[in-house]
Amino acid sequence: MKEDKKILQNNDWAIEANGLVKIYGKEAAVDGVDLAIQKGTVYGFLGPNGAGKTTTIRMLATLLPADAGSARIFGNDLVSDGAAIRKRISLTGQYASIDEDLTGIENLMLIARLMGYTRRQAKTRAMELLTAFGLDHAAKRQVKKYSGGMRRRIDIAASIVVTPDLLFLDEPTSGLDPRSRNQVWDIIRALVRTGTTVMLTTQYLEEADQLADRIGVIQRGKIIAEGTSSELKASVGRGTLNVQLVHAEDRQQAIDILEDYLGAAVHHGTDSTSLTAQADDSMRVGEALGEFARRRIEVSDFSLGRPSLDEVFLTLTGHSAEQQDSGEEIL
Amino acid sequence: MTVQQQTRETANATNGIEGSTDERLLQAIASGKRPDPASGWSSTMAFASRALLRIKHIPEQMFDVTLFPIIFLLMFTYLFGGAIAGSTSDYLQFLLPGILVMTVAQITVYTGIDLNNDIRKGIFDRFRTLPIWLPSALIGALLVDVVRYTMASVVMIALGLMLGFRPEGGAVGVFLAIALVLVFSFSLSWIWTALGLIVRSEKSLMMMSFLVMMPLTFISNVFVDPTTLPTWLQGFVNINPISTLATAVRGFMHGMGTWQQVVNVLLVSAIMTAIFAPLTMYLYRNKT
Ligand SMILES: Nc1ncnc2c1ncn2[C@@H]1O[C@H](COP(=O)(O)OP(=O)(O)OP(=O)(O)O)[C@@H](O)[C@H]1O
Ligand SMILES: [Mg+2]
């Protein structure tokens, strides 16, 4: 059994971190972060502004020495095997990590040549990536003249000139419109399908939900929750029942029934026909809806959902993800 | 697309990128095989070509190696020529080698400024996560800077010849003199790259370079023969590395160069490089 565990440790982990700490001044930007990220998975690192996401990633990418703790990337120690680690990782920073004065193709060719391609191979590779990323029309344009979405894509393209075994993406979709965001998501999914491990940071719960196999929620340098998206949702335990009534005059009666059966406060939406209530027990929901039928309260729509990650985040941190980190009332 | 494939994609993954995105993406990713690592030489050349591309895209960068030499030479020749030497043409013979040294020494600071700008952008992080011989990032840039220094030298000598500069050392003497300027400037650049990694902004680096270079260039033998100076000032002038270089450059341009002068310049250059090149690399690697 013990041996099994050892094999698992040697072969299955892309990242193992123990108690990583980074202190700026008197404040700990990262305050004892443990991570275990399996090869071939996407890990979502979720947290509000200033939580310590970028600092953690920069430590893991050998850019910043940790003040305490240790980490191994594919079994290589962060401190002593930096060179071996850099052969297998790639980083797309939070802010453009390319030369904005150069054109798209010049940037990719530069990286390709630094990776060991010949000039001609570099050119072929650069064009191949530009085409695959839908940037071939902008190959000869300076990157500073790219749109935000194009910039993000060229930045990621630069990170996968040689497909890395582990890719760090620091807020890959911040400030992108839904279409550009979906393009980036497609790229990430394609990478994972070819076996790359991805660690991405995000402030968007939906993004973590969509992409990540496991999610770590970080706040003020500490991981406050960790698990799959469903585990995180289950840890909060409650679901939500939404009911849409046909007739507004049934409203009071419906509220009474729901409160009676679910034992929870009922909220109503902006229109007077939609009702929402916390529902821990789906059996009770069924009974409540049965009671609606008996009383001839017509329902045009209803849904019973697990809590959204947004609600999870709210429960865990006491405030929503988008809110600025402030105050001492939490935890 | 088969049904199976479609279900594998999540519902809202749009085919944003034109064409059969998935296929192209997957193929592009799959063909990103890792070649043998780049040698130190080829990564240096790659960084040098980046610097050349930057000049291509931002040609204003070349002002300092074209306009500066012209302005400095005209200004000092006609401003001081009459007053110091009695005739501008005589003074030019004395001044040009020194002003060449001064001009090139002053533009070395731009190496540090470029580096300082890189640091404040994400590209610095990218370079440091690449599996490359890291000094090549700086050496590549410095090699292109040496080309820039060469250009400044050529511009200044061409203008000097038009104004009546007559180097008695001939083409060989001028060539050797320029070679000494380049070696010295390459070594001096390491001071600015080290400082460029320490200071917060390019403004403070500019400030520091003024504070260092102004006294070094003016309290030297660039403009005047130091024998006219008070003794305590002569002492400084004589140990000033700018004087060392100016003496050698003047010597070779006028056919009076000595091996001792060459050795002095190389020694000063070697000392600067030995201290500041490793310091730069240490700071580059450990910058946080
Ligand atoms: N170089 C630095 N010097 C001093 N403090 C720093 C430095 N870098 C980060 N910090 C501080 O460390 C904390 C964590 O910063 P970090 O950039 O890791 O947060 P983040 O989670 O990436 O936030 P964001 O979502 O805004 O990018 C912040 O309080 C920040 O002010
Ligand atoms: Mg960040």
ipTM for the assembly: 0.84
Predicted confidence at residue A44, as pLDDT, reads: 93
Pick the closest to residue A112 from B58, B42, B134, B281 (CA basis). B42
Residues of chain A under the 50 pLDDT cut = 1-7, 9, 320-331
Q: Kindly report the protein residue whose alpha carbon is nearest to atom 12 of ligand 1.
A: A29
Domain count, chain B: 1
Shortest CA distance from A90: residue in chain B: B129
User: In angstroms, what CA-CA distances link B237 with A316, B109, B218, B226, B234?
Assistant: 69, 22, 9, 7, 5
Q: How far is the CA of A322 from the centre of ligand 1 (A)?
A: 16
The A42-46 sheet, strands edge to edge: A89-92, A166-170, A197-202, A42-46, A214-219, A222-227
Q: And the tokens for B118?
A: 């890189």
Within 210-249 of A, beta carbons closer than 8 Å to B belong to: 210
What's the DSSP call for residue B230?
-
A94 lines ligand 1 (CB under 6 A): yes
The answer to whether residue B184 sits within a structural domain is: yes
Q: Are residues A77 and A190 in the same domain?
A: yes
Is there an atom of ligand 1 within 6 Å of A51 CB?
yes
CA distances from B256 to A260, B100, B195, B251 (A): 107, 18, 36, 5
Same domain, A208 and A297: no
Question: Using CA atoms, how far apart are residues A317 and B188, in angstroms rounded to an integer?
Answer: 54
| Structure token digits, residue B160 | 């000097």
CB contact set of A66 (below 8 Å; sequence gap of 6+): A20, A21, A22, A30, A59, A78
Q: How many CB atoms lie within 10 A of CB B203?
A: 11
Q: Which residue of B has its CA nearest to A66?
A: B288
Q: Is residue A331 part of a domain?
A: no
Structural domain count of chain A: 2
Is the Cβ of B30 closer than 8 Å to some Cβ of chain A? Answer: yes
In a domain, B278, yes or no: yes
Cβ A29 under 6 angstroms from ligand 1? yes
- Best of A115, A128, A147, A198 to disrupt the B interface (most B CBs within 10 Å) is A115
Could you tell me which residues are beta bridge partners of residue A21?
A: A31, A68
Is there a domain that residue A280 lies in?
Answer: yes
Distance CA A252, CA B174 (A): 99
Are residue A62 and residue A13 in the same domain, yes or no? Answer: yes
What secondary structure does DSSP assign to A25-63, as a single string?
Answer: TTEEEEEEEEEEEETT-EEEEE--TTSSHHHHHHHHTTS
Residue A72's DSSP bridge partners are A16, A77
Any A CB within 8 A of B21 CB: yes
Which residues are paired to A227 by β-bridges?
Answer: A215
The answer to whether B98 touches B223, Cβ cutoff 8 Å, is yes
What is d(CA B220, CA B131) in angstroms, rounded to the nearest whole number? Answer: 45
Question: What residues make up the domain containing B149?
Answer: 41-286
Give yes or no for residue A24 CB within 6 A of ligand 1: yes
Query: What is the residue whose two structure tokens read 């050795």?
Result: B263
In a domain, A125, yes or no: no
Q: Does A56 share its domain with A183?
A: yes
What CATH number does residue A271 fall under?
3.30.70.100
Cβ-nearest to B123 among A87, A98, A116: A98
Which range of residues forms the domain containing residue A178?
Answer: 2-88+164-234
Residues A176 and A291 in one domain: no
User: Is B22 among the domain residues?
Assistant: no
The closest CB to that of B21, out of A186, A191, A193, belongs to A186
> Does residue A293 lie in a domain region?
yes
In a domain, A139, yes or no: no
Contacts with A116 from chain B: Cβ below 8 Å:
34-38, 42
Domain boundary among A183, A209, A234: A234
Which residues in chain B have Cβ-Cβ distances shorter than 8 Å to A166? Answer: none
Domain identity same for A171 and A79: yes
Residue of B268, B261, B73 lying closest to B173 (CA atoms): B261
Our answer on whether the CB atom of A282 is closer than 6 Å to any ligand 1 atom is no
Task: Provide the b/e sequence for A56-81 (b: ≥16 CB within 10 Å).
Answer: bbbbbbbbbebeebebbbbebebeeb
CB contact B44 to A (< 8 Å): no
What's this model's pTM, rounded to 2 decimal places? 0.81
The confidence score (pLDDT) of residue B65 equals 87
Sheet with A76-77, side-by-side order of all strands? A27-38, A13-24, A68-73, A76-77
- On whether both A14 and A79 belong to a single domain, the answer is yes
The chain-wide mean pLDDT, for chain B, equals 86
**CATH code of the domain in which A31 resides:** 3.40.50.300
Instruction: Give the pLDDT means over successive 10-residue stretches in chain B (288 positions).
Output: 39 43 79 86 96 92 87 85 74 89 91 89 89 92 93 93 90 94 95 92 91 88 82 86 93 90 95 96 86
Residues A84, A16, single domain; the answer is yes
Determine the Cα–Cα distance for residues B72 and B160; give it in Å rounded to an integer.
11
Q: B interface mutation test: which of A105, A114, A187 has the most B CBs within 10 A? A: A114
Residue that is written with structure tokens 């995105």 in the block: B21
- Taking CB atoms and an 8 Å limit, are B17 and A183 in contact across chains? yes
Q: Are residues A219 and A263 in the same domain?
A: no
The ligand 1 atom nearest the CA atom of A218? 21
Amino acid identity at B61: Q
Q: Is residue B6 part of a domain?
A: no
Please enumerate in sequence order all residues whose Cβ is within 8 A of that of A221, keeping only pairs 6 or more positions apart, or say none.
A22, A28, A29, A30, A31, A32, A33, A51, A52, A55
Please, which residues have CB within 8 angstroms of residue A212's CB and are 6 or more apart in sequence?
Answer: A42, A43, A44, A200, A229
The answer to whether residue A181 sits within a structural domain is: yes
Domain end residue (candidates: A234, A258, A284): A234
Question: pLDDT digit string (tens) for A74-108?
Answer: 989 998 988 899 999 999 988 888 999 999 999 99
